[in-house]
Amino acid sequence: MKCKICGRPAVIKLPAHNIALCEKCFEEFVLRRVKNAIKTYKMFTKDDKVAVAVSGGKDSLALWDILTRLGYETGGIHIHLGIGKYSDESLQKAENFAKKINSELTVIYVRDFFGTGIPEIAKITKRKTCSVCGTIKRYLMNRFAYEKGYTVLATGHNLDDEASTLLGNLLYWKDLYLARKGPVLPSTHPKLIRKVKPLVFLTEREIAAYTILRGIDYIYEECPHAAGATSIFHKHVLNEIENYSPGTKLHFLKGFYERKNIFARLYPEETKMQHECKECGYPSSGEICGFCKLRRRVKEKLENGRETTTA
Ligand code: Q46
Ligand code: ZN
pLDDT digits (tens, 9 = 90+) for 53-69: 999 999 999 999 999 99
Tell me, in angstroms, the distance from the centre of ligand 1 to residue 253's CA: 23
Is the pLDDT at 268 greater than 90? The verdict is no
Per-residue pLDDT at 212: 97
Ligand nearest to the CA of 226: 1
Is any atom of ligand 1 closer than 6 Å to the C-beta of 138?
Answer: no
pLDDT of residue 266: 87
CB of 185 within 6 A of ligand 1: the answer is no
The answer to pTM > 0.85 is: yes
Considering the chain, what is the average pLDDT of its residues?
94
Judged by its nearest atom, the ligand closest to the C-alpha of residue 275 is 2
Phi, psi of 189 (to 5 degrees): -155, 145
Whether the CB-CB separation of 209 and 12 falls below 8 Å is answered with yes
267 band by pLDDT with thresholds 50, 70 and 90: confident
Please give the share of the chain, as a percent, with pLDDT higher than 90.
88
The model's confidence at residue 195, banded by pLDDT at 50, 70 and 90, is very high
65-105 pLDDT per residue, tens: 999 999 999 999 999 999 999 999 999 999 999 999 999 99
- Give me the long-range contacts of 181-188 (CB less than 8 A, separation at least 24): 181/256, 181/260, 181/263, 182/41, 182/257, 182/260, 183/37, 183/41, 183/43, 183/257, 184/41, 184/42, 184/43, 186/271, 188/271, 188/272, 188/273, 188/283
Residue range 7-33: mean pLDDT, rounded: 97
Q: To test the ligand 1 pocket, which listed residue (89, 121, 133, 164) has its Cβ within 8 A of the most ligand atoms?
A: 133
Average confidence (pLDDT) over 218-238: 88
Q: In ligand 1, which atom is closest to the CA atom of 130?
A: 2
Asked whether 224 lines ligand 1 (CB < 6 A), one says no
**Nearest ligand to the CA atom of 293:** 2
Which ligand has its closest atom nearest to the C-alpha of 290? 2
Q: Whose CA is nearest to atom 8 of ligand 1?
A: 223
Report pLDDT for 18.
95
226 lines ligand 1 (CB under 6 A): yes
Give me ligand 2 centre to Cα 150, in Å: 20
pLDDT of residue 307: 65
pLDDT band at 207 (very low <50, low <70, confident <90, very high): very high
Q: What is the pLDDT of residue 242?
A: 97
pLDDT at 305: 76
Q: Which of 81-95, 110-124, 213-227, 240-254 has the lowest mean pLDDT?
A: 213-227
Instruction: Report the alpha-carbon distance of residue 52 to residue 12 in Å, rounded.
Output: 27
From the CB of residue 146, how many other CB atoms can be counted at a distance below 10 Å? 18
Is the CB of 53 within 6 Å of ligand 1?
Answer: no
Q: Which residue has the higher pLDDT, 266 or 48?
A: 48
Q: Which residue has the higher pLDDT, 228 or 135?
A: 135
Alpha carbon 151 to its chain centroid, in Å, reads: 17
Residue nearest to atom 5 of ligand 1 (CA): 130
